[in-house]
Chain A
Amino acid sequence: MIAAIVVGAFAGLLAGLLGVGGGVLFVPALTVFLGLSQVDAEATSLLAIMPMAIVGAWRQHGYGNVRLRDGGILGTAAIPGALAGVAIVNVVPERVVQVAFAGLMLVIAWQMVRERPRPEHATAVVPTDAPESG
């Protein structure tokens, strides 16, 4: 139980620091330390993620790091996407999708490391069609 609390706090720290949901940590904490099934843990992790994300977004708003409208568009568009994901997983072998997604994340990680961070107060939001450098 204490382990679950510690992992929860650490997941929140990562979420605040990196803007991720922390499901990668919440789900194992709920299965390993609190004995939930995989399905129940994935569902219950959402219960932890939502208030955490709201508070995190509110803090980030205070720091001037939030574009509320863009976040709303992203989140709303994700809802039909998630429904499609559930449908796909019933058709395509899950293993194939897992490995493909793992590969995609490695490519993204590499791009993030390679490209220099932009200056903090850049305001341009240009959906570039230019090819990515390199």
Chain B
Amino acid sequence: MLGLAAIGAAAGLFSGLFGVGGGAIVVPALVLRFGYPDRRAMGTSLVAIAVMAGAAMLAQGAYGNLHVDDGLLVGVPAVGGVIAGTWLQQRVPVRTVRLLFAVVLVVAAADLALK
């Protein structure tokens, strides 16, 4: 419980700093430190992200930074994408999913370092 809270706080810290670090922290922590199977770590991570994004969105809304129409324009296709992605994840070997995750981490790291 404390361990989970610490991981959550770290994930929030990094997303507060850069806008990345939700899933990038939570998934490897659940897999490498808490013994989660990969798919369960990734599913549980989405719950954490929903809570995190919801709270941050309320705060940003209070500052008047939200563009609802633009958010829907990318967000509605994303809902379709996530349904396809979770479906696909059940059919792809775990090893492949994990490699892809590592690739995305490397790309995100490069993006951050070269900013």
Contacts and interface: CB of A to CB of B under 8 A. Distances in A.
Nearest to A105: B109
B72 A53 contact: no
Contact of B46 (A10, A60, A132): A60
Interface residues of B, number: 103
Nearest to A73: B4
Given A9-B80, A53-B53, A63 B98 contact: no
B47 A9 contact: no
B8 A16 contact: no
Nearest to B65: A43
A113 B49 contact: no
A111 B106 CA distance: 12
Contacts of B84: 12-13, 16
A12 B82 contact: yes
Contact of B18 (A84, A98, A128): A98
A121 B52 CA distance: 27
Interface in A39-67: 39-40, 42-57, 59-61, 63, 65-67
A113 B81 CA distance: 25
A23 B107 CA distance: 13
Contacts of B101: 18, 20, 109, 112
B51 A76 contact: yes
A65 B86 CA distance: 10
Contacts of B42: 17-19, 60, 65
B18 A101 contact: yes
Given A44-B65, A101-B18, 17 more contacts: A11-B74, A15-B82, A16-B83, A16-B89, A21-B52, A24-B107, A36-B67, A36-B70, A61-B43, A72-B51, A73-B1, A81-B13, A85-B12, A99-B112, A101-B14, A117-B38, A128-B33
What 9 pairs between A and B have smallest CB-CB spacing? A16-B85, A12-B81, A85-B16, A75-B51, A71-B47, A81-B12, A19-B42, A78-B12, A77-B8
Interface of A: 1, 4-24, 26-27, 29-30, 34, 36, 39-40, 42-57, 59-61, 63, 65-68, 70-86, 88-89, 94, 97-99, 101-103, 105-106, 108-113, 115, 117-122, 124-128, 132
